[in-house]
Amino acid sequence: MSPFVLIALCLLAGLALQFARVAGERTASRLNAYVINVALPSLILYELPKLSFDATVLLPVVVSWSVMAATALGVLLASRLWSLSRGVTGCLLLMLPLGNTGFVGIPLIQALVGDAGIGYAILYDQFGTFLALNTLGIAIAVGFSGGQSSAGYIVGRILRFPPFISLLLAFALLWWEYPPWLSQVLAWLAWTLVPVVMVAVGISWHLKLDPADLTIFAAALATLLVFKPVAALLVSTVMGGEGIAHRVVVLEAGMPAMISAGVLAMRYALAPRLAASLVGYSLLAGIPTLFVWRWVLGG
């Protein structure tokens, strides 16, 4: 139970810092910068070489993109059926397909499945959700807000992202066995990911539900916590997924809404209050729901 205790205590610590006005968005931003530039790259370099590179490494990538595509199609269909505004449609296209499979997902996978699941979670996030955020996500945000963005800008964002650089480096170094001192340093830095992320999430956690969005919000929350993991379960089963990889892809699909996607929606004025509500409430409801999914999967 220690991983869950750590997550809960760090979330509470972040909330306490927020409510006491000791720390705000600037502090959360700095903590996230540490995670992006130090902790997450270290985790990737430390854990990825432990994967067995067989057919199962394709499962997280295929399931991730399949679930995102099915979710996006569902949003577009709902938008047409219920005549949703351009801003709400853009918001939902960002918030629903893109789950928090990295910052929140990797620590929760470690807690729910164990260290053996981290490599699959990294593949699901970096080759799935992360790529979608930095390509299609940017295009959706800019397009639905009426702006324009070049392909060069999008490619540059991907290639400059430290966790993605570390992912490519980890693949390049698969043949090399780390010296003990380097492996230990990477392990220590990787360990800091969970407490730092969860404190940052607690500091920036806001619940701002607008009663006017209640119906859309309820449907969106059900999509995040029920439809997406069911879709992942079906796709993984069809692909013959089993064991740890199967459990990881279903749990990753059921992660709360991505904070970065919410920031993107708010930055481009795509139903910002709905975006903030989905980030906050999906985290509140999502963690208990993941325990249910773990029980369903027999974990």
d(CA 281, CA 214): 12
Note the residue count of the chain: 299
d(CA 154, CA 166): 18
- pLDDT at position 1 is 46
Helix axes 193-203, 40-47, angle to 10 degrees: 150
Query: Which DSSP symbol is given to 161?
Result: -
pLDDT in tens, the chain (299 residues): 456 677 778 878 988 998 888 887 788 778 878 887 888 788 878 877 776 666 678 899 999 999 999 999 999 999 999 999 999 999 999 999 999 887 778 888 988 888 888 889 988 987 888 778 877 887 888 788 776 666 777 677 667 778 778 878 888 887 888 899 998 999 899 888 778 877 887 887 766 677 777 889 999 999 999 999 999 999 999 999 889 999 999 999 999 988 778 777 877 788 888 887 888 788 888 888 999 999 999 85
Would you state the CATH architecture of domain 2-296? Up-down Bundle (1.20)
- pLDDT at position 259 is 76
In one letter, which amino acid is 130? F
Whole-angstrom CA distances from 240 to 63, 100, 129, 218 are 12, 25, 22, 32
- pLDDT at position 97 is 95
